[in-house]
């Protein structure tokens, strides 16, 4: 094995490499330290623009919602009905982009995060993701729907209220196109799902597996870039989340709760991350090769105060990590699945 020496690992989904430098975990740290993330302690915040009945910056008032709630983002990066225009001037080119951006409130309770929500509450979130993916994807000119969550101020989240976002747009984003190409090449060569075969190998090796249930597996990908990066993969070859039945929705919600609880328990903090679901585009093609998955990219490295920075070599060469995927998996899977604040 390569685990005790510098080496590279190949990402089968993107076709890119990551440099792994396990010997660097022993280096002293005198760099920037961030403040430990704290939990909100009140269920309603009168100044929060996402809490029920509050007025947002747009002037719209939130309903007194009791479960999940979605609305068009008041400061959307994309807007619908943008006239199609292209620009070409020698090597300079551009074109207009249209879309719809929505905010997804997970709960009316301002103090909650996913690991502190019940499985039933997270199942309702999964149901709303399905609904929004189907409805947005069915609209004319919407060819991709990106579901994601930024958790924690360190990840640029401007509001601690439990929420995520959905950006739907006319073009297919670059990261999705890379994954699509590699899944399609494998499908055409082998006649089966790239991620299904990868999942079977990971389950057999059992070195990077974090959590399993009847329908989903959570693991640290062999090629992970972020220190505690994780991926949730359905056991069945599903192209998108609308294919999940009721039992699978509950299983998905359960493994999300368990994974995010492990995250919080690692450094006993409200663990920041960006998470997102990659699934097939919505332009009407079948995309048989697609196997949907949810990725979590947390920045914390050594403690609640020390994060991983993507600078220097990562910016100008390729991604690099110190702690190996196997050590990260070992650190996480040995933790309790009961949230530290409840013990």
- Provide the annotated active-site residues: 163
Q: How far apart, in whole angstroms, are the C-alpha atoms of residue 337 and residue 263?
A: 10
Kindly tell me the sign of the dihedral angle through the C-alpha atoms of 150, 46, 103, 101.
Answer: negative
Q: Where are the alpha helices (DSSP H) in 104-221?
A: 119-137, 174-190, 194-205
CB 150 within 8 A of CB 277: no
Question: In Å, how far from its chain's centre is CA 300?
Answer: 15
Q: How far apart, in whole angstroms, are the C-alpha atoms of residue 300 and residue 306?
A: 6
The 10 Å Cβ neighbour count of residue 254 is: 17
SS3 314: helix
Q: Which two tokens stand for residue 151?
A: 């958790």
Q: Which two tokens stand for residue 37?
A: 């993330």
Q: Which helix (H) or strand (E) holds 180?
A: helix 174-190
Q: How far apart, in whole angstroms, are the C-alpha atoms of residue 147 and residue 132?
A: 9
């Amino acid at each position: 094995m390569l685990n005790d020496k510098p080496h590279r690992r190949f990402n089968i989904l993107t076709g890119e490499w990551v440099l792994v430098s396990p010997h660097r975990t022993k280096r002293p740290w005198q760099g920037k330290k961030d403040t430990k993330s704290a939990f909100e302690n009140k269920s309603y915040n009168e100044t929060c623009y996402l809490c029920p009945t509050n007025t947002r910056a747009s002037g719209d008032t939130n309903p007194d919602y009791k479960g999940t709630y979605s609305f068009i983002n008041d400061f959307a990066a994309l807007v619908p009905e943008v006239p199609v225009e292209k620009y070409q001037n020698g090597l300079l080119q551009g074109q207009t982009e249209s879309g719809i951006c929505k905010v997804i409130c997970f709960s009316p309770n301002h103090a909650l995060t996913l690991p502190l929500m019940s499985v039933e509450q997270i199942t309702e979130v999964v149901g709303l993701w399905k609904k929004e993916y189907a409805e947005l994807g069915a609209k004319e000119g919407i060819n991709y729907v990106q579901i994601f969550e930024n958790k924690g101020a360190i990840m640029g989240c401007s509001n601690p209220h439990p929420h995520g976002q959905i950006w739907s747009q006319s073009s297919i984003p670059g990261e999705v196109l890379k994954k699509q190409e590699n899944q399609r090449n494998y499908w055409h060569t082998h006649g089966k799902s790239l991620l299904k075969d990868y999942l079977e190998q990971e389950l057999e090796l059992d070195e990077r597996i974090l959590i399993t249930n009847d329908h989903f597996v959570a693991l640290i990908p062999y090629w992970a870039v972020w220190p505690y990066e994780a991926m949730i993969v359905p056991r069945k070859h599903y192209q998108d989340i609308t294919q999940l039945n009721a039992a699978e929705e509950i299983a998905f919600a359960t493994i999300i709760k368990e994974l995010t609880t492990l995250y919080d328990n690692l450094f006993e903090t409200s663990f920041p991350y960006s998470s997102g679901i990659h699934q097939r585009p919505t332009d009407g093609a079948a995309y048989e090769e697609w196997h949907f998955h949810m990725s979590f990219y947390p920045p914390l490295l050594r403690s609640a105060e020390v994060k991983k920075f993507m600078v220097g070599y990562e910016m100008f060469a390729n991604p690099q990590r110190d702690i190996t995927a196997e050590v990260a998996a070992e650190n996480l899977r040995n933790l309790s699945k009961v949230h530290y604040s409840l013990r």
